[in-house]
């Protein structure tokens, strides 16, 4: 066991910006962030990517048969869900 180390995993192709955002929630803890866990259901962008659309923020949703685009509140939703799982 590694004292002070935590693993956090999300489904989907998580962008580096999401990984950094999640790791920043735990500034005093060594955090390893893992993407591609479980089903890969599109790229997971941060809110700043949404206005630019592009593959990660918009087009990959339809390849993975998602019903609608991500919402501008995505950062707060991810932060809330990660902290709730703590």
More confident residue, 75 or 58: 75
Residue 46, SS3? coil
pLDDT of residue 80: 95
Whole-prediction pTM value? Answer: 0.80
Query: For 17-51, what is each residue's pLDDT tens digit?
Result: 999 999 999 988 899 888 878 766 678 889 998 88
Q: ∠ CA 22-25-27 to the nearest 5 degrees?
A: 115
Whether residue 43 contacts residue 20, with contact meaning beta carbons closer than 8 Å, is answered with no
Does an H or E element contain 60, and which?
A: helix 60-63
3-state SS of the chain: helix, strand, coil percent to 5? 40, 15, 40
């Amino acid at each position: 066991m590694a004292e002070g180390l935590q693993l956090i995993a999300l489904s989907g192709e998580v962008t580096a910006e999401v990984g950094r955002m999640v790791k920043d929630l735990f500034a005093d803890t060594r955090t390893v962030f893992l993407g591609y866990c479980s089903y890969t259901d599109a790229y997971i962008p941060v809110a700043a990517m949404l206005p630019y659309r592009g593959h990660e923020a918009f087009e990959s949703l339809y390849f993975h048969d998602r019903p609608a685009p991500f919402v501008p509140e995505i950062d707060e939703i991810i932060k809330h869900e990660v902290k709730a799982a703590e």
